[in-house]
Amino acid sequence: MPGQSINTFDQIIRNNAQMIPDRIASRFDGSVVTYGALNPRLNRIVNALSELGLVKGDRIAFLSRNSHIYIEGILAAARGGFVLTTLNFLLKPDELSYILRHCGAQIIFFQPEFAEAVDAIRSSCPELKYFISLGGPVDFAWDYSSFLADASDKESPVVVYGDDLLLLVYTSGTTGQPKGVALNHQNVCTNVIDSARGVELSDKTVNLNVCPLYHVAAAVFQTLTTYYLGGTSVTLDRFDPVKVLETIEREKITYLFLVPTMLFRMLEVPNADRYDLSSLWRVGYGAAPMPLDRLKRAIALFGSTLFQGYGLTESTANIVILGPEIHDLSASAQDLERLKSCGRAHSGHEISIMDDNGVEVPCREIGEICVRSDSVMVGYWRDPQNTAKVIRDGWLRTADMAYMDEERYIFIVGRKNDMIKRGGEKIYPQEIEEVLFDHPAVLEAAVCGVADPDWGESPRAYIVVRPGYQVSDKDLLAYCLDRLPTFKCPQDVVFLPELPKTSSGKITRTGLQQLNVSSSN
């Protein structure tokens, strides 16, 4: 609860069970669990794992959509000293196999819809001994209720410390094999305390999870932060814009976090303003650029609740916040310009914009966002070489390129690896995308570099047209030419029915580059 000093996350759940046993901790699919009831449930999971021979430090894996059992798994890992590996259910079997072998997981909890993928990798993962189905029967697995049937609910004698690992979260692996981000209890506790303070949340928080729990935004920034406060977490198994609006109204949700594509879909719901959204206190967005015109529409729908959060897995989620006070359409021109930023460092996080040599660059000069904080990861699991590349002299180098204004607001211009080098010029896709999003016929836009025989690389735009509108490639190229220097304009436009996205709704440039499409020219 607010104000408590914590070193391990399990301290929070134990304290809540003693102080607020009747308060609701979780709502999911019609079921309700109080903090008092949660405590013995976690003991049973820990004891069941111990009876299988698992000990402190062993890795357990979850392959599941959002559910209360997933949340229990995270909390049980915190109590028993286990390390929970979150798995992206969109990964292919060979990718899942690599992660499970790399982390050395001994047990996997999975939903039956993913049984075929799990069955396909069993023979390639020799350390993976136990399989637990979180639903209907699977012939090679125990069901979850049988797994817990004979387990005691007595307290475990295991002692957990702040430097013990809690989570292994694997990155996307767009530049090679996925890397396992190792987060310990201190990382998580630091981040939840700072997040609660930075977003100004209270013990009255009613959080709504719609982002996948295998991401730190949902698992840490939302769920564990809510539990630190003694609030209630409501969970949907997946995102649906109408269900989200209905749930906000029915459950009196106060706290919500979305990626921009989710927010876009909510803005497209007919008469979205007919839902009672008055309970909302904070609606966060982040993880991808937010076009200014859409942001203004979101402000009109959600009012003064909106904030932007910036962070990454390696920083245990959020480290920068653009507060609701900036999300005011009647604000000064300077504050409206700051809607294009991702905010400023909050609480205990130190941010610097540095060059490649680790020297802070002058105000308004582009460099790499670097962060120093107790929430910065321990390192990449079993990968000291890549750890040394990204953590230098105590600073985490994020690979996000940005500049700061005079009051240290951070303006992101793009990913370091996304930069397009056209001749001697450097182009960041986000600048072009922001222009394209301003066109009324554009629903979604993304820009990637493509090979150019004369210039080395040139930008190509990928567009999803808004329903009911028509626009040609020539229209969009002319629109860009009126608003951008010639060398930054796309060389061509590709129209798609939808853009490739991650399960959390982020547009993936790697997916675009892999598409076998030709330009519209």
Q: Which residues of 264-274 are buried (b: 16+ CB within 10 A; e: fewer)?
A: bbbeeeeebee
Residue 300, H or E segment? helix 292-302
> Residue 513: is its pLDDT beyond 80?
no
What is the mean predicted confidence (pLDDT) over 308-316?
A: 95
| 449 and 410 housed in the same domain | no
Clarify whether residues 446 and 368 are in a common domain: no
- Answer yes or no: do 475 and 441 share one domain: yes
In a domain, 157, yes or no: yes
pLDDT at 142 over 60: yes
Tell me if 226 is assigned to some domain.
no
Tell me, yes or no, whether 372 and 447 share the same domain.
no
Query: Given 185, 204, 219, which residue is the final one in a domain?
Result: 185
CATH code of the domain in which 487 resides: 3.30.300.30
Domain assignment of residue 283, yes or no: yes
Residues 368 and 496 in one domain: no
CATH code of the domain containing 71: 3.40.50.12780
- Enter the pTM of the model: 0.89
Question: For 167-187, what is the mean pLDDT?
Answer: 86
Q: Is the residue at 484 inside a domain? A: yes
Quick one: average pLDDT of 397-405? 94
196 inside domain? no
How many domains is the chain partitioned into structurally?
Answer: 3
pLDDT at 190: 95
pLDDT of residue 218: 95
Among residues 352, 386, 415, the one where a domain terminates is 415
Give the model's confidence band at 17: pLDDT under 50 very low, under 70 low, under 90 confident, else very high: very high
Q: How confident is the model at residue 133 (pLDDT cuts 50, 70, 90)?
A: very high
For residue 176, pLDDT beyond 70? no
DSSP 214: T
pLDDT of residue 6: 83
Asked if residue 375 and residue 252 are part of one domain, the reply reads yes
Cα separation, 295 vs 306, whole angstroms = 9
Q: Is the pLDDT of residue 517 over 60?
A: no
Statement to judge: residues 335 and 437 lie in one domain:
no
Shared domain check, 406 and 258: yes
pLDDT at 296 over 90: no
Is the residue at 206 inside a domain?
A: no
Query: What is d(CA 426, CA 487) in angstroms, rounded to the nearest whole number?
Result: 10
What's the length of the chain? 521
Q: What is the pLDDT of residues 94-129, one digit of tens each?
A: 999 999 999 999 999 999 999 999 999 999 999 999
Domain boundary among 383, 415, 447: 415
pLDDT number for residue 337:
84
Co-location of 435 and 409 in the same domain = no
Going by pLDDT thresholds of 50, 70 and 90, the confidence category of residue 521 is very low
Confirm whether 224 is domain-assigned: no
pLDDT of residue 90: 87
Residues whose CB falls within 8 Å of the CB of residue 176, separated by 6 or more in sequence, listed in order: none
Q: Is 34 exposed, middle or buried (0-12, 13-18, 19+ CB in 10 A)?
A: middle
pLDDT of residue 182: 98
**Which run of H or E residues covers position 334?**
helix 333-337
> What band does 504 get if pLDDT is binned at 50, 70 and 90?
low
Q: Is residue 338 part of a domain?
A: yes
The most distant pair of C-alpha atoms in the chain lies apart, rounded to whole Å, by 71
75 in the same domain as 171: yes
Helix (H) or strand (E) holding 308: strand 306-312
Q: Looking at residues 313-331, what average pLDDT do you find?
A: 91
pLDDT at 484 over 70: yes
pLDDT at 3: 52
Cα 77 from Cα 73, distance rounded (Å)? 6
- 107 and 255 together in one domain: no
More confident residue, 399 or 334: 399
**Angstrom distance (rounded) from CA 163 to CA 415:** 31
* Residue 476: domain span: 426-514
Name the pLDDT band for 479 (thresholds 50, 70, 90). Answer: very high
Closest CA to 228 of 236, 219, 237: 219
> In this predicted model, what pLDDT tens digit does every residue of 47-71 receive, in sequence order?
999 999 999 999 999 999 999 999 9
Closest CA to 338 of 363, 355, 321, 351: 321
pLDDT single digits (tens) 246-284: 999 999 999 999 988 899 899 999 999 999 999 999 999
pLDDT > 50? residue 518: no
| Mean pLDDT confidence for 72-101 | 96
In this prediction, what percent of the chain has a pLDDT beyond 70?
96
Q: Compute the average pLDDT of residues 459-468.
A: 95
Q: Express each pLDDT in 415-441 by its tens digit.
A: 888 889 888 788 989 889 989 999 999
pLDDT value, residue 519: 46
Q: Indicate whether 308 and 345 sit together in one domain.
A: yes
Which residue type does 513 have? Answer: Q
